Each structure stands twice: as C-alpha cells, then as structure tokens.
Amino acid sequence: MMTVNEFIIKALQIPYKKWGSDWNGVDCYGLVRLFYREVHGIELPDIRTYRWWESWERVKEPQTGDVLFINLEEPHIALYAGNNRILHALKKYGIRLDRYNANWQKLTKSIWRLKK
C-alpha cells in the first residue's frame, strides 16, 4: 500500500489515457480507481458498467480521498488530496495537482465519499 503523498508523486508522472486506470495511463475516473487500489486496497468497478452511486454517499465538506464532481465542458471528477488540494486527470493538461481554491470550489457540483 502507498501513502497518499507517495501516490500523488507517482501519479503526476502518469500520462492521460481515455478509459485508462493503471500506471500506463488514466482518465479522471481511472485516477480515482488507481488511487483506491494503491492507497486503500479497494478495487472499484468500471464506471461504465456499474451504478457507482450505490457505494458512495454525498457529503458537504471534502476529506482526503473524496471525489468531487466538477462542472467543466465535459463531465469531470477529481480526488480531494488533502491540504486544500485536488488531484485530477485532464485531457488537455494530463495529471495535475491543483489548489482547491475558490474557482474550483465554485465549479464543484457535489462531493462524494465511499461508504464504509
């Protein structure tokens, strides 16, 4: 298992790859799947074949590992990485670690946490 910070450092080197969910490339949901696999030992199902919301609960304030649904030009999710940071995969920019500033907060539609 990796720590969150170890995962972030390694993830920033991954290329963007549509439908990818491993160290060879990820999209935004693939990044979430890889995070849960490597940091928590949980294998999340493919979002295309699974009703993901049944395993998640909506919350108001993010904690490390929560998923943020963000209003961009196309559907987008990001991982809350703690310390007011988000980790996400963007087609145009690749894997990014950004401050969860007022702009990102304004674009956040909802926050979800994996049920225990």
Domain holding 62: CATH number? 3.90.1720.10
In the prediction, which pLDDT does 85 show? 97
Pinpoint the alpha helices (H) of the chain: 4-11, 28-35, 102-107
Between 7-21, 26-40, 61-75, the lowest mean confidence (pLDDT) is in: 61-75
Burial of 17 (0-12, 13-18, 19+ CB in 10 A): middle
Tell me which residue range forms the domain holding 106: 4-114
What's this model's pTM, rounded to 2 decimal places? Answer: 0.89
In the prediction, which pLDDT does 48 show? 67
| Residue 73 scores a pLDDT above 80 | no
E strands along the chain, which residues? 21-22, 25-26, 56-59, 67-71, 75-82, 85-90, 94-99, 108-114
| Residue 55 scores a pLDDT above 90 | no
High-pLDDT (> 90) share of the chain, %: 78
Question: How many domains in the chain?
Answer: 1
